[in-house]
Amino acid sequence: SQQGEEDPQALSIQEGENATMNCSYKTSINNLQWYRQNSGRGLVHLILIRSNEREKHSGRLRVTLDTSKKSSSLLITASRAADTASYFCATPTGGGNKLTFGTGTQLKVEL
Amino acid sequence: DVKVTQSSRYLVKRTGEKVFLECVQDMDHENMFWYRQDPGLGLRLIYFSYDVKMKEKGDIPEGYSVSREKKERFSLILESASTNQTSMYLCASSKAGGRETQYFGPGTRLLVL
């Protein structure tokens, strides 16, 4: 199975609501990254959280990391239609140069 | 800003054809990657290169080969395309090291008929 697995697979919310996505992983990590992918496009890096951090903010994004539970969450506050995309967590593997991506959460923000 | 470009956005090929997908990055990154992305399976690593002429198999290398003759360019080759290689192919690059962000190209959607 994937090192990182996101939950839920799909999420539909109204504009202005908050969206929360979760990621679970299996092995010890030194960091975890979140990426976003607009339909039919490449992935764009959103945020990296290190293993010694519990929470990190970037604009409307808030990421938490719980290494004891091997899980992370991505919160998007006050969502907008433009946030509609797939979101992936990624963890380092193979000596750290490589990343393993989860299967992603498809977020749809409706007007 | 880092720029990763891929030679084609869309490609249609016939079974048995040799297919070349090219990727170029302009940030002097050591690492380059080829992934394929299929619905429900997420991104799967095909090959990884950490230096010129150096390569490492990823999770699904069968049916693919790669070439990295110059630092900025990483090519994915389908020696004899098959219909099960119809997919979205994504190239990425990153600096060497274990905490580096990967920068992705726009992707190539390949259809093999």
How far apart, in whole angstroms, are the C-alpha atoms of residue B104 and residue B29? 12
Closest chain B residue by Cα to residue A5: B42
The helix/strand/coil state of A40 is: coil
pLDDT (0 to 100) of residue A2: 40
- Reported as a single tens digit per residue, the pLDDT across B41-51 is 889 999 999 99
A103 vs B40, B48, B50: nearest CB? B40
pLDDT tier at B90 (50, 70, 90 boundaries)?
very high
Task: Dump the DSSP string for B34-86.
Answer: EEEEETTTEEEEEEEEEETTEEEE-S--TTEEEEEEETTEEEEEESS--GGG-
Q: What is the pLDDT of residue A3?
A: 55
The pLDDT of residue A1 is 33
pLDDT (average), residues B48-55: 94
To the nearest whole Å, the CA of B16 is away from the closest chain A CA by: 26
Chain B nearest CA to A78, separation (Å): 26
Give the per-residue pLDDT at B98. 65
What gap in Å lies between CA A77 and CA A109, rounded to an integer?
Answer: 12
Select the residue of B96, B101, B106 nearest A97 (Cβ to Cβ). Answer: B96
Distance CA B50, CA A40 (A): 27
> Which of the 8 DSSP states describes residue A94?
G
- At A96, is the pLDDT very low, low, confident or very high (cuts 50, 70, 90)? low
CA distance A41 to chain B (A): 5
